[in-house]
Amino acid sequence: MTDTRARNGFIIINLIRFLSIALIMLGFAIVRGVIDAPWEVGVVFAVFGFLEFFFLPRFIARRFRDEGPPRP
């Protein structure tokens, strides 16, 4: 694996983690009533944020660890 590919993977994984934390915080703000939106939307945002935080970086890391998709 080249250094550039590893660096790009690291940046993407951390960006995904930061965005998922933002999604969790948005969901909590909706549930607490800070943002005027239906309660169910806040719950869905928070649950998807948690799932994204814990599981998506593993799939992305596996993608960067492999050679990637076959190129034509």
- CA angle 45/47/50 to nearest 5° reads 105
Structure tokens belonging to residue 66: 């492999």
- pLDDT, residue 3, reads 79
What pLDDT shows up at residue 28?
Answer: 96
Q: What is the pLDDT of residue 4?
A: 83
The better pLDDT of the pair 14, 72 is held by: 14
Residue 71 is predicted with a pLDDT of 56
pLDDT tens digits, 6-55: 888 889 999 999 999 999 999 999 999 999 999 999 999 999 999 999 99
Check residue 44 and give its pLDDT: 96
